[in-house]
Amino acid sequence: MKYVNKNFFVEDIKASYLAEKFGTPLYCYSLNKLTNNIRNLKNNFKKIDPIICFSVKSNPNTNLLREINKQGLGADVVSIGELMKALKAGIKPKNIVFSGVGKTKVEIEYAIKKKILLINAESKNEILQIEKIARKYKTKVNVGIRLNPNTDAKTLSQISTGKKENKFGVSDKEFLTLVRYVKKSKNLNLKCLSVHIGSQILDSKPYEKMLKILDKIIKKTKFNFEYIDLGGGMGISYNNDKKTLNLDKYSNSIKKFLKKNKSKIILEPGRSIIGNTGILISKVIYNKEGHKKNFIILDAAMNDLMRPALYNAKHQIKPAIKNNSYTNKVYEFVGPICESTDKFGSYKKFQKLKENDLIIICDVGAYGVSLSSNYNLRPKPAEILIKKSKASVISKRQKLIEII
Ligand SMILES: *Cc1c(COP(=O)(O)O)cnc(C)c1O
């Protein structure tokens, strides 16, 4: 994705052409970029040879899941819907792990019937529920136990999951109790220790700390876990500073960890695989002059891209066609929704924009469409994929009639 002369291109197709052909707001993904990300991740972690399970909640588009499956990745799911979607996309049950704090009876039964690789349980009562269902079906179910390592991921508080005040996983004390319990169970097969300390982690130190904690607790269990599931959370760059998590460093610490612990590593990346593969193309409806700034009112809103409103996340905004005429007004990019949090950021120096001009909101491949809604009764945007110089619709624009 880059400018050629004045035009923003996705692979070899102009963003402005895509907007004209498919309408706006429009989610657009690059398969080349997705393939590169997967290759990059695999290369960086080659020395630990992990099972990589894509986190479906970051982007559950069936076509994208098919491509991800083709490139040898499994899936990490957090609901029966995601599990069904992963299976529909052709991902084999033996490459699927199921996480989440509130799996219902129906979800657990489905996962057991489908014989997925692992159910990662997050509480004592969930373990008891899985055991009860396994007994009913006279089977032995592979489970992991999610530890809450009480590690600060040093990311946004809203996407931090590994501290003791978070609802995820169990404390070290509870973990040891549950290990003892599951080891003795006739219907549970203890296979895995899992963790996931948060998302958009840019510093490898929290991971290093987490590995040290795992090391200690594994020693205490005196148990050889077949799998250690380290979760996802690897951060990407959302701005110009190009700072991303140093994957090589992280991978080296895991390698060190494996010298003492002979287990197969599972990784559950979402954002680091899909985040920078997608853009959101939007059209300016109005340029509204305000007191000290101009509001650029877009046809995309918080229902299409929730991250700024939900986490105060920043996504870069760029013009689809450069015109080299800068304003001296501050531009605040907002959507049409009746909420003051429906905004995408302010820019001091942006090119002059008028009605019908197109802009690009960058790096929306992860937690973009998956967090979208019909709020204000707005139909969901279309999604397209650029593959071998061709753009095709991978999710149709929702029709008004479907939601009225
Ligand atoms: C959300 C989530 C992930 C993926 O996180 P990313 O930051 O997108 O890599 C992985 N594992 C679990 C259990 C999750 O909840």
Residue 366 alpha carbon, nearest atom of ligand 1: 8
Confidence (pLDDT) at 385: 98
Tokens describing residue 322: 């450069």
Residue 105, SS3 per DSSP: helix
- For residues 102 and 108, the answer to whether their CB atoms sit within 8 Å is no
Q: If you ran DSSP here, which 8-state letter would residue 321 be given?
A: B
According to DSSP, the β-strands at 188-194 and 51-55 are unpaired
Going from the Cα of 301 to the center of ligand 1, the distance in angstroms, rounded, reads: 25
Cβ atoms of 187 and 140 closer than 8 Å? yes
CB neighbour burial string for 54-88, b if at least 16 within 10 angstroms, e if fewer: bbbbbbbbebbbebbbebebbbbbbbbebbebbbe
Average pLDDT score, the chain:
96
| Number of domain units in the chain | 2
Going through 18-125 in order, the beta strands assigned E by DSSP cover 26-30, 51-55, 74-77, 96-98, 118-121
* Domain match, 253 and 111 both: yes
CA 352–ligand 1 middle distance (angstroms): 39
Is-contact 324 172, C-beta < 8 A?
no
User: Above pLDDT 90, what percent of the chain?
Assistant: 92
Distance from chain centroid for Cα 226 = 26
CATH number, domain of 342, equals 2.40.37.10
Q: What is the pLDDT of residues 300-345, one digit of tens each?
A: 999 999 999 999 999 999 999 999 898 889 999 999 999 999 999 9
pLDDT at 178: 98
Domain identity same for 252 and 290: no
By most ligand atoms within 8 Å of CB, the mutation choice from 45, 53, 54, 55 for ligand 1 is 55
The mean pLDDT of 118-127, rounded to a whole number, is: 98
> What is d(CA 337, CA 300) in angstroms, rounded to the nearest whole number?
9
8-state DSSP, 65 = H
- Long-range contact list for 386-391, CB < 8 A, 24+ apart? 386/10, 386/11, 386/13, 386/28, 386/29, 386/30, 386/31, 386/32, 387/31, 388/31, 389/11, 389/12, 389/13, 391/13, 391/18, 391/21, 391/22, 391/28
Same domain? For 239 and 261 the reply is: yes
Are 47 and 176 contained in the same domain? Answer: yes
b/e per residue, 130-160, with b = 16+ CB within 10 A? bbebbeeeeeebbbbbbbbbbbebbbeeebb
Our answer to whether residue 338 is catalytic in this structure is yes
Give distance in angstroms: CA of 180 to centre of ligand 1.
27
Write down which residue in 255, 271, 287 finishes a domain.
271
Candidate from 42-46, 121-125, 139-143, 163-167 with smallest mean pLDDT: 163-167
Query: In terms of DSSP bridges, do strands 227-229 and 2-4 run parallel, antiparallel, or are they unpaired?
Result: unpaired
> Are residue 262 and residue 383 in the same domain, yes or no?
no
Catalytic residue among 53, 192, 338, 362: 338
The last residue of a domain, from among 239, 255, 271: 271
Ligand 1: which of 76, 166, 230 to mutate, judged by most atoms within 8 Å of the beta carbon?
Answer: 76
Nearest to 376 by CA among 333, 336, 332: 336
Closest atom of ligand 1 to CA, residue 58: 8
Ligand 1 proximal residues by C-beta, below 6 Å: 55, 57-58, 76, 78, 99, 196, 199, 231-234, 268-272, 366
SS3 123: coil
Q: How many CB atoms lie within 10 A of CB 49?
A: 10
**Beta strand ranges found along 36-85 (DSSP E):** 51-55, 74-77
Contact yes or no for 347/318 (Cβ under 8 A) = no
Range of the domain at 337: 2-29+275-403
What average pLDDT does the segment 177-196 reach?
98
- Annotate 183-220 with DSSP letters as a single string: HH-SSEEEEEEE---BSSB--SHHHHHHHHHHHHHHHH
Q: Are residues 96 and 211 in the same domain?
A: yes
Q: Quick one: which of 383, 388, 323, 386 has its CA closest to 359?
A: 323
Same-domain status, 214 and 133: yes
Q: What is the CATH number of the domain that holds 213?
A: 3.20.20.10
Nearest ligand 1 atom to the CA of 198 is 7
E strands in 56-181: 74-77, 96-98, 118-121, 141-146
What does the alpha-carbon distance between residue 127 and residue 388 come to, in Å, rounded to a whole number? 46
User: Tokens standing for 342?
Assistant: 């429906």
Q: Residue 240 has what pLDDT?
A: 80
Q: Are residues 236 and 343 in the same domain?
A: no
Q: Are residues 20 and 124 in the same domain?
A: no
Answer for the pair 223, 262: CB distance below 8 angstroms, yes or no.
no
| 19 C-beta neighbours (distance < 10 Å), count | 21
pLDDT value at residue 165? 86
225, 250, 271: which is the final residue of a domain?
A: 271
Mutate to test the pocket of ligand 1, among 37, 51, 56, 57 (most ligand atoms within 8 A of CB): 57
Say if residue 46 is in the same domain as residue 189: yes
Do 252 and 280 lie in one domain? The reply is: no
**What's the pLDDT at 96?**
98
Is the same domain home to 163 and 284? no
Q: Tokens at residue 339, please?
A: 């909420």
pTM (global) more than 0.85: yes
Q: Whose CA is nearest to atom 10 of ligand 1?
A: 232
